[in-house]
Every structure is written in C-alpha cells, then in structure tokens.
Amino acid sequence: MAVLSKLREHDIQVNFMSFHPAVRGFVYPCPSDHYHVIINERISFEMRRKTLIHEVAHILKHLPNKRYLVNIDNKRIYFEKEADEISRKVLATLKK
C-alpha cells in the first residue's frame, strides 16, 4: 500500500492516544528528522484512516518548507484544505 511505503520512506511513526473528539490528529516533528503522527483513538476507523492520510499529506507537502504548522481558529486554513483534498483523492483510489 502506498501510504505504508510513505510512512517507512519518511520515517513516520503512528501513535494512538485518547483526547477530545474535536481533535482528530496532529503531527509532531522530532528534532532527529522523523515524525510522529498522533491519531485520536476515540474516532471511527474510517476517520482515523482519513486523518492519517491528511497528516501524512502535511508532512510531505507542507512540513518540508515550514518546520511547524498550527491551525488555531483556522488561521492556516489553506494548508488544511489542501491536506483534506489529498486525503480525499488517496481514499478514492483505495476504494477502487
């Protein structure tokens, strides 16, 4: 699967934690040049999958140029919309 190969290729570790359902997930870039994607274990399997792809999209598309992104009150809405679109496209290819 393409997503799994991207995880290995970019040294992305996935962890699950329980927090408020309004927070689906986020990326934590480690100083040692690898990433942790933290996914909320309280959301559905389908939403976890979408969130994982969304967060990987941030790593591949946005984080090489910026060390961090913060989306508080949609201040970085462009980055979120772009990651959502990538997630939709990847999920559509997986359903075929």
Answer positive or negative: Cα dihedral of 39, 40, 43, 44.
positive
* Whole-angstrom distance, CA of residue 41 vs CA of residue 21: 9
Residue 17 CA, chain-centre distance (Å), reads 14
Return d(Cα 31, Cα 43) in angstroms, integer: 29
pLDDT of 9 strictly over 70: yes
Cα separations (Å) of 54 from 9, 40, 71?
17, 13, 13
Q: Convert the pLDDT of each residue in 45-57 to its tens digit.
A: 999 999 999 998 8
Q: How far apart are CA 46 and CA 89, in angstroms?
A: 15
User: What is the per-residue pLDDT for 73?
Assistant: 54
pLDDT digits (tens, 9 = 90+) for 60-88: 887 765 555 555 555 557 778 888 888 88
Structural domains in the chain, CATH included, are 2-95 (1.10.10)
Q: What is the pTM of this model?
A: 0.75
Residues 6+ apart with CB under 8 A from 70: 76
What pLDDT does 39 receive? 95
